[in-house]
Amino acid sequence: MELSPYEKTCEVLGIQCSFAMLGKLEHIEKQWEQLMNMYPYCTDYEGVNTTTNNPSVEVDIQKKYSLESISQTLDLMIKELSKEIAKTRTFGSTNKSALLMYSYVVFNGQEYTVFAMYQCHCKTDFKSVVLLAQSFLNLFNNEKDKVYPIETSYKVLTDKGCLPSANQRQIIMENLPKNVLRYDCSHLKDPHSIQSVLDDPIPNCMTSVTIKLTKNEFNSFALWCRSRHLSIQATLLAIELKAYEKLFNRKGNNAESISFLVPFDLRRFLPFESDCIGLLSETIYPTLPISIINQSIEQISICLTKKLKEVTNINSEAFDRYRDAYYCGNMALMGVKHTCSVSNVSSFAVMNGLSQPLKDRFVDFHMSGCVRVPCNSMMEDLTIHTYSLVDGSFNCSLTYPYGIIQTSVAEAVLKTFKDIINTIN
């Protein structure tokens, strides 16, 4: 089956997640091999290659780092997984597109098993990766019957005549904003504004850091949005925009507009089983003039809320999405070189399909994005993913395809997000 242009672009993209379970899970290599046999498209999209030579990797994470919490451990597992992905240049090709890393850790006398899993973005989106992680864990309870189907939106969209023709695509490209706001996210305006305890650079892929709001902070923020009839995703977009304006210098001075990319869950609108594996195209592009950046967060949120209701029929406060996402960097596929994006987290209950004994042992789940390209000393291209989880935590993952990054940058972004949210409440 030939890949669509979108899927071909996503061959160089990856999704990583990490998760923790109470107690010591054994026979991990066996269960991972079984998962790859259950879902051969994780390693073999074209039906040519086998799933051999794809073993899981054990790492002693507690020996390598001074760990303080499970949340920190999960971030560091993704960091270690990123290094493994960077080592293997075959990732993204059809012969190998998945990797599992695991470790055993102990906190206060309690043993945990922690995992980090990588999947190619070519035919797996964020919900798909959660379902794959769920399937993997269920194997430890001999739950082998449920195999999620793989689906694609392209056949349905083609059959319904929803995909634009070449002429329509050309018109869209010609009318996209040309001078879109961009920031130099590789350096903070004030490099001394935040001190990081994880300041070592990570080669090639990404770093992941999480800052959590308390339940009261998150509820207060949601109430602030609701009382003003603002969508949460629009408000988070405004906050991200203000944060980047505060932290980073703009690239060039000729920006005329700000383009916002808003992802949503296309599974809701297609005749698919809601729990399916696939890469489902899910984006809209509201655009605002550059002058909007001088307005308050509330004023920007009002404009964005109105825009979102104009361009999509998803008018609820929360999209049926797992994460908020912020992408900036090379978005050549969409025709926009730089975008800000936020959709809101909602009813996607992570690991809700775990069998009960495993659900009782489930502890936490983190997710991040990455890009696999050869390393280069030049830091030219940048992609940033920010996820806002349903419990009010923010996870920021930064990727420099051609260089290295400092975790202090991600920490500065997240600290600024949190400061702004607590200020407006």
pLDDT, tens only, 113-140: 999 998 877 667 777 888 899 999 999 9
* Nearest-angstrom CA–CA distance, 153 and 159: 10
pLDDT of residue 334: 29
Closest CA to 360 of 148, 137, 153, 107: 137
Q: Is 195's pLDDT higher than 70?
A: no
CB 18 within 8 A of CB 115: yes
CB 119 within 8 A of CB 129: yes
Residue 248: Cβ within 10 Å count: 20
Q: Is 298's pLDDT higher than 70?
A: yes
Closest CA to 17 of 206, 150, 212: 206
CB 333 within 8 A of CB 254: no
* Nearest-angstrom CA–CA distance, 268 and 291: 35
pLDDT, tens only, 61-94: 999 999 998 888 887 888 788 777 765 544 444 4
- Could you please report the per-residue DSSP string of 23-72? S----HHHHHHHHHHH-GGGT-SSS-S-S-S---EE--HHHHS----HHH
Instruction: Please tell me the least confidently modeled range out of 48-57, 148-157, 283-292.
Output: 48-57
CB 201 within 8 A of CB 406: yes
CB 205 within 8 A of CB 405: no
Residue 422's SS3 state is: helix
Closest CA to 336 of 108, 158, 178: 178
Pinpoint the alpha helices (H) of 106-212.
Answer: 126-138, 153-159, 166-175
pLDDT, tens only, 242-274: 988 998 888 777 788 887 766 666 676 667 777
Q: Which amino acid is at 68?
A: E
Cα of first residue to Cα of last residue in the chain, in angstroms, is 51
Q: Which amino acid is at 6?
A: Y
Closest CA to 343 of 275, 396, 283, 259: 283
What's the pTM?
0.66
**Mean pLDDT confidence for 194-199:** 50
pLDDT of residue 83: 72
What does the domain layout of the chain look like in residue ranges? 176-346+374-424
Domain 176-346+374-424 of CATH type 1.10.10: no
pLDDT of residue 169: 63
pLDDT, tens only, 383-407: 555 555 545 555 555 555 444 455 6
- Percent of the chain, pLDDT > 70? 57
pLDDT of residue 406: 59
Q: Is 204's pLDDT higher than 80?
A: no
pLDDT of residue 104: 97
Q: Is 176's pLDDT higher than 60?
A: yes
Structure tokens at 25: 């899970």
Structure tokens at 85: 């992905």
* Nearest-angstrom CA–CA distance, 70 and 67: 8
* Nearest-angstrom CA–CA distance, 158 and 7: 15
**Mean pLDDT confidence for 346-362:** 74
- CA 224, distance to chain mean position in Å, is 26
Q: Is 336's pLDDT higher than 60?
A: no
Average pLDDT, whole number, for the chain? 71
- H/E element holding 404? strand 404-405
pLDDT of residue 161: 65
pLDDT tier at 107 (50, 70, 90 boundaries)? very high
- H/E element holding 259? strand 257-259
Residue 385 burial (C-beta neighbours within 10 Å; 0-12, 13-18, 19+): buried
CB 373 within 8 A of CB 397: no
Instruction: Please tell me the least confidently modeled range out of 50-64, 101-115, 266-280, 353-367.
Output: 266-280
